[in-house]
Structure 1
Amino acid sequence: MIKENNKKSMLADSSLLIVALMWGGGFVAVKDALDNVTPMYITAIRFIFASLILGIIFFKKLKNIRKKDLKASFIIALFLFGGFTTQTIGLQYTTAGKQAFLTAVYVVIIPFLVWFVDKNKPDYYDIGATLLAFAGIGFLTINKSFEFSMNFGDVLTLICAVLFAGHIVAVNHFAKGSKGLDPVVLSILQMAFVGIISLISGIIFEPKFVGISKNALFPVIYLVVFSTMLGFLIQNVAQKYTQPNHVGIILCLESVFGAVLSVIFLSDVFTINMVVGCIIIFIAIIISETKLEFIKSTGNKKAGNVIK
């Protein structure tokens, strides 16, 4: 039974790695799409179409939606919508690199939110891996001068980090344990709620929507299919079989993939800071996944040989 659970956990973590790759590609897609479509409408389009496609595929699962499914999905959607909104508005008042670093605070926040919500205290390996991952993302995004000052955009971005952490913890809370809600249903309803709220916000705050140009068509399709539909579906299902601390650390790899894909498709410069950041994040994942058991076992074998 334990081996079976371990296999499911490893499969879930591997699936989250794919999600991180897809979300990393989303950085490139969003950058292209923003040249033609406003932020709220991008969010509305990607989540509404993703929820419609999944709704058609999993129609049978949606026929028996319960009140608690709607309630849980709405709560999850509020965290997700709030995260995207504060991040987008905050970007108007701060730099993209600085925001990427501040958004990454969600990796550090997750273990403590889990502790608060589910009373599941993080161990030293989780805390250490989390801090390492946070440091790694810092190397990916900060400039050489290390100049940081708090402004309105930075405050909004920190709020965004809390909301993204809350989203991961909320998904974990409702998809696991005694709640045990269907992660597919949660995914579809969550996307629908985010799409509807974003559309209403777009109509109110971004009334001059002129449609999707040909240049934005492929990026929008990528965002709908990969970054949203598959990304959040896989995340919600995978979180049923792994720990939220693992989720945060693995998903922070989207920064690594985003940096690499930006170099390939946007001709961004890959600096030594990025290389160091990638290495640190991979070390953090190894610590989180293995708890350094391979080092412990090696040490025990050596100790046994000495005793013999």
Structure 2
Amino acid sequence: MKKAQKQHFLGIIGLLLVTIIWGSGFTAVDIALRHFSPLPILSARFFIGMVVMGIFAFPERKNISKDSIRSGAVMGVFLFLAFWLQTVAQLHTTPSKNAFLTATNVVIVPFIAYVIYKVKVTRYHLIGAILTIIGVGVLSIRIGESFNIGDLYSFLCAIGFAFHIFFTGHFVKKGSALVLNFIQMTVAFVLSLVMVMVSGEIPAGLPVEGILAVVYLGLFSTSLSFFLQTLSQKYTTETEAGIILSMESVFGTLFSVLILQETITWKMLAGCAIILTAIFISEHGGRKDNDVQSESRLTK
């Protein structure tokens, strides 16, 4: 196996591990929310991420430049916004629905590429977008009930993650994965800390179950997963990354059923199936039409 092929294979494996870790993160967030409000959870997990990535990035401190700070800051802002929306969403919806609605971010990425770099939006992307809207409707709208605000937060979270995936794929081609991760974690921590101070959401107690959930989120769902994502996207295309990362929703539902004993309805399964079909059509179907153009623009 040639070096490039080996790196590509390892990149695929790395992204698969990220999806498993992220999928388990929905369950950990649900447990943490039993004891803490969203902002302290975010502040703690980003603090852990900042410290861990700071330790590993220290040997590469000479690679910190104005460009890397600017790039990492952009990634950090979208990372904070996406996670804040996702955590708030789970106060009003279930972990499995949150996971599937978040997964719609891979359908949104091509439209971001069009707006910023004028990368062509193919017919597959349009079909995927329409199916996603239908799937979200089937999954979220219940007869006799008003629209769930948690579902709206989950979808806005997907937009935030779409920007984060897009910019990560662009910036990591030009910078150190360790440095970029340290900077984005630092920016996300500062933003969450400021929000905690402004809102006054200070935890009244520190229950063991809540602490363990937050530590898991900080070490695995934040530090390890985002380092793996940033490193792996060096050796994969944005299309491949989008397809693989969308499987986070499947693992999110799996962990929710196994650990939280969440009940899965046929309506939920139908909505999830439509969303997964939309993701596959949007990303896999449009690969031949869009990959070459997309990659050439993103590396400029």
Alignment TM-score, normalising by the size of structure 1: 0.77
Amino acid at match of 1:164: F
Q: Quick one: which of 276, 281, 285 aligns to 1:281?
A: 276
Matched, 1:191 2:213: no
Distance 1:147 1:203 in 2: 39
More deviation, 117-126/11-20: 117-126
Cα offset for 1:126? 6.2
* Alignment correspondent of 1:261: 255
Cα offset for 1:105? 3.5
For the 8 Å contact 2:93–2:148, the answer to whether it is kept is no
Distance 1:237 1:138 in 2: 35
Q: 1:26 to 1:137 in 2, by over 3 A?
A: farther
Matched, 1:40 2:44: no
Cα offset for 1:165? 0.9
Indicate the structure (1 or 2) with the bigger Cα radius of gyration: 1
Distance 1:245 1:45 in 2: 32
For the 8 Å contact 1:101–1:138, the answer to whether it is kept is no
Distance 1:131 1:236 in 2: 29
Cα offset for 1:161? 2.6
User: SS where residue 234 of structure 2 aligns?
Assistant: helix
For the 8 Å contact 2:129–2:282, the answer to whether it is kept is no
For the 8 Å contact 2:107–2:283, the answer to whether it is kept is no
Matched, 1:168 2:165: yes
Cα offset for 1:193? 1.0
Distance 1:118 1:6 in 2: 28
Q: 1:5 to 1:32 in 2, by over 3 A?
A: same
Q: Gaps (5+ residues) in structure 1?
A: 294-308
- Which residues of 2 match residues 148-297 of structure 1 at below 5 A? 156-176=153-173, 180-272=174-266, 277=272, 281=276, 288=283
Distance 1:131 1:207 in 2: 39
Cα offset for 1:263? 1.2
User: SS where residue 58 of structure 1 aligns?
Assistant: helix
Q: How many residues align structurally?
A: 286
* Alignment correspondent of 1:55: 54
Amino acid at match of 2:8: S
For the 8 Å contact 1:260–1:270, the answer to whether it is kept is no
Q: 1:209 to 1:238 in 2, by over 3 A?
A: same
* Alignment correspondent of 2:11: 12
Using the aligned pairs only, state the percent identity.
35
Cα offset for 1:110? 0.5
Distance 2:114 2:140 in 1: 30
Q: Gaps (5+ residues) in structure 2?
A: 289-300
More deviation, 274-283/110-119: 274-283
Amino acid at match of 2:19: A
Amino acid at match of 2:184: Q
Q: 1:169 to 1:7 in 2, by over 3 A?
A: same
**CA deviation vs aligned residue, 1:142-166 (integer Å, no higher than 9, x gap):** 47x5778657666554433322211
RMSD of aligned alpha carbons: 3.5
Q: 1:147 to 1:189 in 2, by over 3 A?
A: farther
**CA deviation vs aligned residue, 1:55-89 (integer Å, no higher than 9, x gap):** 11231112441111111111111111122233444
Cα offset for 1:232? 0.7
**CA deviation vs aligned residue, 1:128-183 (integer Å, no higher than 9, x gap):** 677777877777x447x57786576665544333222111111112112xxx1112
Amino acid at match of 1:58: A
* Alignment correspondent of 1:121: 120
For the 8 Å contact 2:100–2:275, the answer to whether it is kept is no
For the 8 Å contact 1:50–1:224, the answer to whether it is kept is yes
Distance 1:212 1:236 in 2: 32
Distance 2:226 2:210 in 1: 22
Q: 1:199 to 1:185 in 2, by over 3 A?
A: same
* Alignment correspondent of 1:305: none
User: SS where residue 78 of structure 2 aligns?
Assistant: helix
Distance 2:161 2:287 in 1: 28
